[in-house]
A = this chain, B = another copy of it.
């Protein structure tokens, strides 16, 4: 029997998926838990991926007519209370500011002082504070549409946190738009969902299903929540982005009214949409393997690292010079609209350890240059997604680098898509559905079938029963699917369409 290959991450995905995830984050030096309960520290490598996400999305938002602005961190309690479903949804996870100073008590201990007249909530989302501002800005139909995005931090007091995927504080963008008609607001809702789907698939290389949430999974206060859902490598679903059609709910709560072109006083139709640092978690769980992170090249903070291999003093300078000139040649290459990011790593540590550090960090291409490469004018390199060792004449390597990165981007998307597609199953019987989601092995409760594409009678009762029995929920009603008459296998009632059922993050 062949000796099992060494992998850089312990445990492997198969051994313990949740712990594997933590170890990948750690090995790639992306984030860690902070001393503040539930809040993470996003370390430079993790943050640089978020910066790339921001760069690409920000351009997409601007290209679709949006501008950025900034609204207050704090929301007066009374604002949050204006929309009943909204406050109901967020009341349990609010960080509440009650005092505006610290002051020594009798014993010299500092205690909160100067109690506020009204508590302030650290924003869990900004519909209500932005709504109050829009109510001032919008007077006439000429003031519409308002198309604004905000990059910000938000806080939701989560009890069980996991780096990137669920944290008390996280970074996100939230778009907030107001329109004169429901048709325009719906168009905006769908347009931004499509922007997210395009970004997820073409930049993150993460295949997603676009769909609509059921009532039970809707954003508190929304009329409809649209979402993109991705499958992680443990076959659980990750909600990766949402776009909400808010109808006139928040406009009525905040008083966003305008004089229409017909001279009538109307409430505006609003939307909101957001993605967060959770995407970084999705990127990891989609592409990382048992050797660590794999970053899609379009989002890589560094595309290529060059490791000089200098076994002998007499050839050392030639190797270093070769690396430097290669770096400069590569940096001049423009790929995907930006110059390639290239680093030389000549830290004084063991070559093997150094190479594995970069494998674990997931950057697309590692180059190693030793005296023989210099002599032959060639480039030895390893692409992260295959780890295959390759060598090319230098000119050919430079000429092909863009195509290699494009191929890699495509290959990791195709791999993720094949995995996802293999693990979506049309299921038409209750027994098969229960078997699909019931772990075969009590010691590995995380192992189950994947996404079930199964008929649903449209009732909350059916969905609640499945959730209770299996911790499986309807992730979405997929868009762009032909309706298909069938039978709900749980209730036996008629159904008009299949929906996506899954365990989820």
Across the interface, do B98 and A94 meet the contact criterion of CB distance under 8 Å? no
Knowing A69-B42, A71-B41, A120-B36, the reply to whether A98 touches B101 (Cβ < 8 A) is no
A44 close to B (CB within 8 Å):
yes
Across the interface, do B133 and A72 meet the contact criterion of CB distance under 8 Å? no
Across the interface, do A94 and B87 meet the contact criterion of CB distance under 8 Å? no
CA distance A132 to B80 in the complex (A): 34
A39 close to B (CB within 8 Å):
yes
Q: Which of B50, B100, B148 contacts A94 (CB 8 A)?
A: B100
A28 close to B (CB within 8 Å):
no
Question: Distance (Å) between the CB of A425 and the closest chain B CB?
Answer: 39
Knowing A68-B51, A69-B43, A91-B110, the reply to whether A35 touches B133 (Cβ < 8 A) is yes
Across the interface, do B41 and A67 meet the contact criterion of CB distance under 8 Å? no
Question: Distance (Å) between the CB of A365 and the closest chain B CB?
Answer: 21
A335 close to B (CB within 8 Å):
no
Across the interface, do B129 and A35 meet the contact criterion of CB distance under 8 Å? yes
Chain B neighbourhood of A36, CB < 8 A: 72, 74-76, 120, 129
Knowing A35-B129, A71-B34, A75-B36, the reply to whether A99 touches B101 (Cβ < 8 A) is no
Question: Distance (Å) between the CB of A405 and the closest chain B CB?
Answer: 22
Contact with B along A334-366 (1 / 0, CB 8 A): 000000000000000000000000000000000
Question: Distance (Å) between the CB of A303 and the closest chain B CB?
Answer: 16
Knowing A41-B70, A74-B169, the reply to whether A110 touches B87 (Cβ < 8 A) is yes
A470 close to B (CB within 8 Å):
no
Chain B neighbourhood of A67, CB < 8 A: 44, 47-48
Q: Which of B35, B74, B77, B121 contacts A79 (CB 8 A)?
A: B35
Contact with B along A269-310 (1 / 0, CB 8 A): 000000000000000000000000000000000000000000
CA distance A71 to B169 in the complex (A): 10
A171 close to B (CB within 8 Å):
yes
CA distance A389 to B95 in the complex (A): 56
Q: Which of B72, B81, B96 contacts A97 (CB 8 A)?
A: B96
Across the interface, do B103 and A91 meet the contact criterion of CB distance under 8 Å? yes
Smallest Cβ-Cβ distance to A167: which chain B residue: B72
CA distance A70 to B172 in the complex (A): 13
Across the interface, do B94 and A101 meet the contact criterion of CB distance under 8 Å? yes
CA distance A101 to B80 in the complex (A): 13
CA distance A36 to B130 in the complex (A): 11
Knowing A87-B110, A96-B98, A129-B34, the reply to whether A47 touches B74 (Cβ < 8 A) is no
CA distance A99 to B120 in the complex (A): 11
Across the interface, do A72 and B34 meet the contact criterion of CB distance under 8 Å? yes
Question: Distance (Å) between the CB of A349 and the closest chain B CB?
Answer: 10
Across the interface, do A69 and B91 meet the contact criterion of CB distance under 8 Å? no
A157 close to B (CB within 8 Å):
yes
A486 close to B (CB within 8 Å):
no
Contact with B along A13-40 (1 / 0, CB 8 A): 0000000000000000000001110011
Q: List 18 A-B contacts (CB under 8 A).
A: A35-B76, A35-B133, A36-B72, A36-B74, A39-B73, A41-B70, A41-B71, A43-B69, A74-B95, A74-B169, A91-B103, A96-B99, A96-B101, A98-B98, A99-B119, A101-B157, A102-B121, A111-B119
Residues of A within 8 A of B (CB): 34-36, 39-44, 47-48, 50-51, 67-77, 79-81, 87, 91-103, 110-112, 119-122, 129, 132-133, 148, 152-153, 155, 157, 169, 171
